[in-house]
Chains A and B, each alone.
Chain A
Amino acid sequence: MKKAIRVLLVAVCLLMVFTTPVAAAAPYQTYTYSSTGFVLTSPDAYVPDKVVDGAIASANFGELRDMVVDKDGNVYLVDATNACVHVLNKYYRLTRTINSFVNEQGVPDGFNNPSGVFVNDQYIYICDTDNNRIVLFNHDGEFVQTVGKPESNLFAEGSIYKPVALAVDSYGRMFIVSSTTYEGVIVMGIDGSFYGFIGAQKATVTAWQAIWKFISQNAEDEETVTSTEYNNITIDKDNFLYVTTNSIDEAAQQNAIMGKDKGGTLAPVKKLNASGTDVMTRNGFYPPSGEVKVSTSATSKIQGASSIVDAAVGPEGTWSIIDDKRSKVFTYDNQGNLLFAFGDTGSQVGSISTIKAVAYSGNDMLLLDKDNASFTVYRRTEYGDILISALESQNLRLYDKEVEGWTEILKRNNNFDIAYIGIAKAMSRDGDYENAMEYFRVAYDSAGYSDSYKEVRKEWISKYFLIIPVVIIVFLVLVLKFFGFAGKKNKAVSLKVGQKSVTEEIIYAFHVIFHPFDGFWDLKHEKRGSVRSGFLILLATILSFFYQTVGTGYIHNSAELTSDSLYLTLASVAVPVMLWIVANWCLTTLFEGEGNFSDVFTATCYALTPLPLVIIPGTFCSNFLTAEEASLVSMLTTIGFLWAGMLLFFGMMSTHGYSFGKNIVTILGTIVGMIFIMFVAVLFTTLLSKMFTFVYGIIDEIQYRM
């Protein structure tokens, strides 16, 4: 929380520094997100320029549903109330209203509840939703043809076809979103021939629904799973489709965002190729699915995940989506990095009451406001211009110019991680790996950091090539020497009668881990170990986990360390161990186990010995390993855990004098017992905390009233 406040404060300071001059211009705050989900204020990339309503366009605007801009800057607005499409020129003055035509049969015809429009060089395509057809016009506003419902047996019996949005690729194929069709995007030619469905949105199932389905095993229940459908579609110049949906289960969508899910199943916006595969790159800190920090409090006016209703493709591979819950625009680059988010509800120029569509017109962004029957033109700022030019240089591989651009961006917004990554990449291309590492680290790009580190390490190794085998040999010799010494010592102590010293007891652990059967037997019967040495081994294990927490190399653990993580480590080691000991003792007392409580404790602690032995060197090595080599460390750790588990098994067997089969049963029982104790503990603490809050509440209340 402290940290949150701190970050917020920095953000506020930055806000003061950067946005004061333009504060009067935009009634919203532009921002991005940090890797940990903090809002980072950013300079405005777009500022409102003017609002175009019916009076200004000299047209009569009803309920505006969709808006597109053609390459000449003409704006096409779909008006459902007046059942027409208004065509405005690039100065936003009405040039034509398409509302009636004479159809193929030579009969005067009109639209019924039109919802979408698409424009390419050839035609103007209008989704005549309630007439279940697409109507094509040429650019002189003359009627060309109508395309009705595609004929195919792939359509379910009696299914209704309600086209609400469409996009047309450079081959003239139409991609149609129908509001009542769940099978995906309909692909058809303008002659009405049906090509198929693509990109079916998988039905989302909440966890509860899944469990219920599992339990009930009832086929009828499948009906309760809601299918999701798309609500809008747009296409870029390479014929990739951007489809949006707002019918994914909100909690699931938000969980996917918070879980940094890179998959597309729960993404409200997908980039489909011609065969309907989601090819969206989601390399940002959070998936490009709209708002990250959302309120779940019942008293907030806006809650839950974004409701994405439209997408637009901007310059240089950028694309924007709009959230009609928040009246916000989120703009991403082609890697899925959030470039900027802005927008708010309200009545000032630049605020939008209900956002319905987004479109780019040259350097301007247009947002459609359904409630006010108008659209607002946003002008790109200097910051936005630099950002786009930097992306342009990146796309054209003009690296020097790109670095220049990112440097300019950082002067204006030093929280912009993409700029740091851009510079770091340029540095590593120039061979300046050390500095590149620093920039990657600032931008929380551990993959880039790892690549640069690899190069730095390569250089170091080539310089000190001879040292490495020497160090390894010395280390191995020392290890062998130590085990030789331990073996000798243990043999000597086995003849000793009476109380053993702590050192002797601990050195005995090195015998136990290699000879578990007689090792644990002697541990108990020959009193080769004791509770105090067991406790020391437990302590060593905890300390080694502490070391793992604080000492793991940046590449393998890029999460920021807080003082809480140490407590968490302590709890995650000590609590399961103690639970195991208590549960096992309780159970074995009932099952004729021979070991008493201290025997169980000692044996369990001795079984932990392999853990510090693998974790300490593993953690140490992680500082010199790259991301690809991480599996080495994790393999080592896994071996340690398996080893400890095996020791635990045999330790319990010898301590209690059980047969192999009986030991398996008691160990399973112990695990159940642990779960049971946990359950009771959770129940107890919950009740206790309820009671505490109650008493605290009363005291609080009395205090307020005094």
Chain B
Amino acid sequence: MNAKRILSVLLALLTVLGSICITAYASVVPAAAAYEDKVDENGDPKIDYLTKEYKTGKNKLKDMTLIREQNGFQLWYEEFTGEVALVDPETGEGIFSNPYDIAVGNYASKATRQQLLSQLAVTFSYNGVEKTMYSYTDAALLGQINYKNIKNGVRVEYAIGELQTTRLVPRMISKTRFESMIMNNITNEKDLEYVMSFYSLKDPYDVKLTESLVKEMQAAFPVTKKFAVYVCETDISAKELKRIEDIIKTFCPLYTYEEMEQDHNDCDYVSQDVAPPNFKMAIEYTINETGLEARLPANGIRFDESTYTLKSITMLPYMGSGRGSNEGYSLIPDGSGTLIRFEDIQGQTYNVSGQMYGSDYAYHSISGQHTEKMTMPVWGVVETRETEVKVGVGPSATTEKVESDRGYLAIITEGDSMANLMCENGGKIHIFNNVYPMFYPRPSDSYNLADSISVGSNSSLTVTSSRKYAGSYRIQYILLGTEFENGKSYDATYVGMAKAYQEYLEGTGAITQLKKEDVQKDIPLYVETFGAIQTTDRVMSFPVTVDTALTTFEDVKTMYNELSEAGISNVNFRLTGYYNGGLNNTYLAKLEWEKVVGGDSGFKDLLSYATEKGFGVYPDFDFAYQRLADWFDGVSEKKHLVKSIDDRYMSKREYDAAIQDFESAMLLQFPQQYTITSMLSSMLTILLTALRAFPYQHSVQT
């Protein structure tokens, strides 16, 4: 008895505590509206997101929920679509994860608008067929987007694709049981009608049926030889199943999962459903000083790996998109950087894409045109938008249209090497222009099977890396044209973007500002010289391969002398191809200066001369590539060479202007730590001399 009393007290306490917790939670998020508020009783959104016109960001925010205010920014969230916006409370403008004005003057189709409302697109393959799912159609419309408050922001969880849950809906049930357990219990006329619309009766004793029809039925449903059954429609959607389940649960409390199992067994029903594709992942948005950080933890991605192959994840494809009808431009890090002006490409569907940092030479085939590399993990969009600003106070206040420049700079701060950068200009498809990353969590490569012995055909096989990326994809969005809490701001121009990136790099310690004493009056001149190369020569009229010097150490001295005579004093030489075979070097296991360029003594001589005269000499050592194999160079192909996804040795490919394709250029290998260390110790003395000869601070990077 006592025990029971204690238990009940505890339970009561727990209830009280629980309610306090809920209240406390609610106080943090005062307007914590739920997903349920956004949908009607049918599960359809109350707002027609595809056609509702929001002329300004402020209008859009009226339908969103304020999640957090911090650093002078407001973070807003839309419960149905999963949209997120970071705005400056003063202007109501900021960065929206999806354009708020998709319905304003946009000619995009319904499917395109659904894509424009997505924060994620997942491309996967099933049985070799690739398919892409978008978060709006495959998560929002299914009610599979949830959010949680986290420190400094919000975590939006997606389940993209239909969830496979066993619903309490019998797929096949005998007529008698269906009638007694379910049909008779549903008292609501409307609900019964709804349920019955999905069930069809298969009754062999039906007098209206002809003999052939009965036979046909018995062939399709063998159980009907024994008794009549009700069969549920096979292509019933998840939403419909949920609604039927709700009805059954409400009206037939006696019908349980065990009962359903029993019915399925009785009817010999075996589920033939393949688990539908479903990808669970989350994006965490956090506010920081300069804007918003979005992070997608890669190890939190869950899906049925035995059935589906995840190809790529497109993250926030329309975050901060520019309107093509406005003035503005996109910046992409293509080569030295490219600005694509909206007005130049208005109405044209113009897409540029590129792998971050260029091609991966560990791939079998490197295709594509001669393009510039995506050199830095940054991009941005700037545009001039018309906003309405209230002028005056009180009833005499009027609104005036003011043009203001807005934009953002995005930096991939994690997972950049797995990214493909896409620059999309809607053109004829939609009105927006944006740049976004596409991440490949597991690199996959295909190779031609004709190369291997097992088959003679020309078919290719796709191999996926066995390693999985366990980090995150992290993007920092820096707002331009907005004053931050600390009073700083970046202009909404490409100069502002450059400034923002510079300060970001400075913050990470990647670059440091030069001090006044570091800046020299003399601009340094860098000269790259080439050492030796093999040529064919005739010795006693017989062809032999000999090393030929291109620029000897003595030549370097002469070059310096002539340059200094001409009044150029701050000269630095980068010596390329001076050791182990020259420009076609073998692996650097042991350093041997080429004899034809002056040899060991020649280099020492050059160093002492450089120290005396005060010019820089930077020998260039290549630890990553070897062009020629040598006996006893300590290179084990198996151990050191870079291998492709199917363990074949790979070489660096270079673009051949004549055949317009990538051609193998040289062997590629890992810079093995131990080889470098051993090499360094063996030539420590010589390097130390070299370092002393450098007039400026220089670090040997290994």
Binding site for B on A (CB under 8 A): 2-3, 5-6, 8-10, 12-13, 16, 24, 27-29, 31, 39, 41, 291-295, 298-302, 326, 344-348, 351, 550-551, 560-563, 565-566, 694, 697-698, 701, 704-705
Given contact pairs A344-B657, A704-B647, a sample of 15 additional A-B residue pairs in the complex whose CB atoms are under 8 Å apart: A5-B666, A6-B534, A13-B583, A293-B658, A299-B448, A300-B659, A302-B661, A347-B350, A348-B372, A560-B536, A561-B543, A562-B536, A562-B543, A694-B453, A697-B453
Residues of A with C-beta under 8 A to B697: none
B365 at the interface (CB under 8 A from A): yes
**Cβ A701 vs Cβ B657 within 8 A:** no
CB of A113 to closest CB in B, whole Å: 26
B404 at the interface (CB under 8 A from A): no
For this complex, 9 residue pairs linking A to B, each with C-beta atoms less than 8 Å apart, are: A29-B370, A295-B659, A298-B458, A299-B448, A300-B659, A301-B660, A347-B352, A566-B542, A704-B647
**Cβ B658 vs Cβ A31 within 8 A:** yes
**Cβ A705 vs Cβ B647 within 8 A:** yes
* Interface residue tally for chain B (C-beta within 8 Å): 42
Residues of A with C-beta under 8 A to B24: none
- CB < 8 Å A-B pair total: 99
B367 at the interface (CB under 8 A from A): yes
Residues of B with C-beta under 8 A to A345: 369, 660
Residue of B nearest to A294 (CB): B659
Residues of A with C-beta under 8 A to B536: 3, 560-562
Residues of B with C-beta under 8 A to A299: 365, 448
Within 8 A of A (CB), among B449-467: 452-454, 458
Residues of A with C-beta under 8 A to B657: 28-29, 31, 39, 41, 344
B541 at the interface (CB under 8 A from A): yes
B542's contact among A27, A298, A550, by CB below 8 Å, is which? A550
Q: Per-residue CB proximity of B539-564 to A under 8 Å, as 1/0?
A: 00111110000000000000000000
* Cα–Cα distance between A351 and B350 once the two chains are bound (Å): 15
- Enumerate the 10 nearest inter-chain pairs by beta-carbon distance, A residue then B residue, closest first: A29-B657, A697-B453, A346-B369, A550-B541, A293-B658, A561-B543, A295-B659, A704-B647, A39-B658, A344-B370
Residue of B nearest to A344 (CB): B370
Residues of A with C-beta under 8 A to B660: 301-302, 326, 344-345
B656 at the interface (CB under 8 A from A): yes
**Cβ B583 vs Cβ A9 within 8 A:** yes
A5's contact among B448, B542, B627, by CB below 8 Å, is which? B627
Within 8 A of A (CB), among B520-535: 528, 530, 533-535
**Cβ B369 vs Cβ A6 within 8 A:** no
B646 at the interface (CB under 8 A from A): yes
CB of B459 to closest CB in A, whole Å: 13
Q: Per-residue CB proximity of B633-665 to A under 8 Å, as 1/0?
A: 000000000000011100000101111110001
**Cβ B584 vs Cβ A5 within 8 A:** yes
Residues of B with C-beta under 8 A to A3: 536
Instruction: Decide: A301 near B535, CB < 8 A? Known: A24-B335, A39-B656, A562-B543.
Output: no
Residues of A with C-beta under 8 A to B538: 550, 561
CB of A301 to closest CB in B, whole Å: 7
Residues of B with C-beta under 8 A to A39: 656-658
B336 at the interface (CB under 8 A from A): yes
CB of A674 to closest CB in B, whole Å: 31
B417 at the interface (CB under 8 A from A): no
B371's contact among A29, A293, A346, by CB below 8 Å, is which? A346
**Cβ B530 vs Cβ A13 within 8 A:** yes
**Cβ B370 vs Cβ A27 within 8 A:** yes
Residues of A with C-beta under 8 A to B646: 704
Residues of B with C-beta under 8 A to A9: 533, 583-584, 627
A6's contact among B350, B533, B541, by CB below 8 Å, is which? B533
CB of A366 to closest CB in B, whole Å: 20
Residue of A nearest to B550 (CB): A13
Residues of A with C-beta under 8 A to B530: 13
**Cβ B453 vs Cβ A704 within 8 A:** no
B336's contact among A24, A29, A298, A697, by CB below 8 Å, is which? A24
* Cα–Cα distance between A694 and B350 once the two chains are bound (Å): 48
Residues of A with C-beta under 8 A to B544: 563
Within 8 A of A (CB), among B346-389: 350, 352, 365, 367, 369-372
* Cα–Cα distance between A326 and B371 once the two chains are bound (Å): 15
Residues of B with C-beta under 8 A to A563: 543-544
* Cα–Cα distance between A28 and B365 once the two chains are bound (Å): 21
* Cα–Cα distance between A155 and B661 once the two chains are bound (Å): 45
Residues of B with C-beta under 8 A to A565: 543
Residue of B nearest to A564 (CB): B543
CB of A2 to closest CB in B, whole Å: 8
Residues of B with C-beta under 8 A to A13: 530, 583
Residue of A nearest to B448 (CB): A299
Residues of A with C-beta under 8 A to B454: 701
Residue of B nearest to A20 (CB): B528
CB of A678 to closest CB in B, whole Å: 29
Q: Per-residue CB proximity of B668-687 to A under 8 Å, as 1/0?
A: 00000000000000000000
**Cβ B535 vs Cβ A6 within 8 A:** yes
CB of B342 to closest CB in A, whole Å: 13
**Cβ A16 vs Cβ B659 within 8 A:** no
Residues of A with C-beta under 8 A to B335: 24
Residue of B nearest to A704 (CB): B647
* Cα–Cα distance between A31 and B335 once the two chains are bound (Å): 22
* Cα–Cα distance between A262 and B538 once the two chains are bound (Å): 32
Residues of B with C-beta under 8 A to A41: 657
A344's contact among B369, B535, B541, B647, by CB below 8 Å, is which? B369
**Cβ B659 vs Cβ A293 within 8 A:** yes
CB of A111 to closest CB in B, whole Å: 27
Residue of A nearest to B657 (CB): A29
**Cβ B352 vs Cβ A301 within 8 A:** no
Within 8 A of A (CB), among B82-99: none
A698's contact among B371, B453, B541, B627, by CB below 8 Å, is which? B453
* Cα–Cα distance between A293 and B336 once the two chains are bound (Å): 31
Residues of B with C-beta under 8 A to A8: 665
Residues of B with C-beta under 8 A to A295: 659, 661
Residue of A nearest to B365 (CB): A299
* Cα–Cα distance between A6 and B371 once the two chains are bound (Å): 25
* Cα–Cα distance between A299 and B665 once the two chains are bound (Å): 18
* Cα–Cα distance between A291 and B659 once the two chains are bound (Å): 9
Residue of A nearest to B637 (CB): A703
Residues of B with C-beta under 8 A to A292: 658
CB of B650 to closest CB in A, whole Å: 12
Instruction: Decide: A302 near B370, CB < 8 A? Known: A6-B535, A551-B541.
Output: no
* Cα–Cα distance between A347 and B332 once the two chains are bound (Å): 14
CB of A351 to closest CB in B, whole Å: 7
**Cβ A351 vs Cβ B533 within 8 A:** no
Instruction: Decide: A301 near B367, CB < 8 A? Known: A6-B584, A348-B372.
Output: yes
* Cα–Cα distance between A5 and B584 once the two chains are bound (Å): 9
**Cβ B528 vs Cβ A16 within 8 A:** yes
CB of A32 to closest CB in B, whole Å: 10
* Cα–Cα distance between A698 and B584 once the two chains are bound (Å): 32
* Cα–Cα distance between A161 and B528 once the two chains are bound (Å): 62
CB of B634 to closest CB in A, whole Å: 20
Residues of B with C-beta under 8 A to A10: 533
Residues of A with C-beta under 8 A to B528: 16
CB of A482 to closest CB in B, whole Å: 26
Residues of B with C-beta under 8 A to A301: 367, 660-661
Residues of B with C-beta under 8 A to A560: 536
Residue of A nearest to B371 (CB): A346
Residues of A with C-beta under 8 A to B365: 299
CB of A329 to closest CB in B, whole Å: 13
* Cα–Cα distance between A52 and B441 once the two chains are bound (Å): 41
Residues of A with C-beta under 8 A to B583: 9, 13
Residue of A nearest to B542 (CB): A550
Residues of A with C-beta under 8 A to B458: 298
CB of A544 to closest CB in B, whole Å: 14
Within 8 A of A (CB), among B381-429: none
* Cα–Cα distance between A299 and B458 once the two chains are bound (Å): 10
Residues of B with C-beta under 8 A to A348: 371-372
Q: Per-residue CB proximity of B14-26 to A under 8 Å, as 1/0?
A: 0000000000000
